[in-house]
Amino acid sequence: MQKYISPQRQKWMPKVAYSASMGFAAYWAYLYLSQTKHIFSPKCSETGQTLASTPHPEITPVRLPVGKGIELEGWVRLPAGFQGGNQGCAIYFGGRSEDVRWLISEMDGFGDLPLVFFNYRGYGQSGGRPDEKRLVADAHAIYNWVSNQPWCKKGQISVIGRSLGTGVAVQLAASQPVHKLVLLTPYDSLVNLAKARVPLAPVSLLLRSQFKSADKVDQIHSPTFVLLAEQDEVVPHDSTARLLANFVVKPLVATVKGSNHVSLPHHRSAQALIEHFLSDAP
């Protein structure tokens, strides 16, 4: 039986449908135009992040040109007693709201690991604006710069990525001979994370920075270590599980008890695990 619709209702139904479609269009336009600040938050420091303000004897500041008039702010940590050229080193890529200067205050947790870390474009005193293409290009520039330094053993450049930075680290490790790879709270893709948060938006069409790590990890043949937070309110464990399923060389995986998405890299146990994995013989 055909349902009866009154003439009055027939008149306003198209108006409601039109208003709804315009509302969705406006919302999607807002998401598209504001996506940079939702994906990258250079002005928002994470809770518990302590930024060093005084010089450190093991730290050397660096300015790395990466484009026309654009330099990245970075640091090199060479521990006391370091024998230049006889030891490998690691490059660290941070999260979406992370000024990597916090590493200066917590160097002791990483033992004798030589470490290189740069703020992304637009973060700290680094110039430019962040997006996926530029961050990955900058990662290659950093890798090439480190490759030419006398203090890092040839062929022994490892990479650490945390949260957003796992997408950068994965793309670098998929195309460069990375010695070892460490991923803290990695995800399969930003598209899938965004779909879970805004299910009514066509995020695969809207997102310019998609970081589809699950499509890249089958190109990685470096030993890989994945660290998970016990409670992760940002990257669900099932997102990490989808990523892990695509590796050809299966990673080591560990979960740090008592940690969450923000606190994980600051846990001394997590720092010690990273230092042990990267310092151990291949």
Q: Is 71 helix (H, G, I), strand (E, B) or coil?
A: strand
The arithmetic mean of pLDDT across residues 84-110, rounded, is: 91
Report which of 195, 190, 147, 193 is spatially closest to residue 172, judged by C-alpha positions. Answer: 147
CATH assignment at residue 115? 3.40.50.1820
Residue 232: which pLDDT band, with cuts at 50, 70 and 90? Answer: very high
Contact call for residues 183 and 169 (beta carbons, < 8 A):
yes
Q: What is the number of structural domains in the chain? A: 1
* Inter-residue contact 226 to 180 (CB < 8 Å): no
Kindly report the pTM of this predicted structure: 0.84
Which amino acid is residue 41, in one-letter code? S
Q: Is residue 180 part of a domain?
A: yes
Residue ranges making up the domain that contains 108: 40-279
In a domain, 178, yes or no: yes
Domain-embedded: residue 33: no
Q: Answer yes or no: is pLDDT of 53 > 90.
A: no
Residue 41 is predicted with a pLDDT of 78
Q: How many CA atoms lie within 13 A of 253 on its CB side?
A: 15
Give pLDDT tens digits for 4-44.
555 655 555 454 444 444 443 443 343 444 445 656 877 65
User: Quick check: is 19 in a domain?
Assistant: no
Structural domain contains residue 29: no
In a domain, 44, yes or no: yes
pLDDT tens per residue, range 185-219: 999 998 888 776 666 555 665 677 789 999 999 99
Looking only at the bridges linking them, the beta strands covering 181-184 and 224-231 are parallel
Which residues are within 8 A (CB) of 133 and not within 5 positions of it... i.e. 6 or more apart? 209
What span, in angstroms and rounded, lies between the C-alpha atoms of 168 and 61? 22
pLDDT, tens digit, for every residue of 124-174?
999 999 999 999 999 999 999 999 999 999 899 999 999 999 999 999 999
Whether residue 35 lies inside any domain: the answer is no
Q: Is 155 helix (H, G, I), strand (E, B) or coil?
A: coil
Q: Is residue 232 part of a domain?
A: yes
Tokens of 172: 């670098």
Give me the pLDDT at residue 19, please: 42
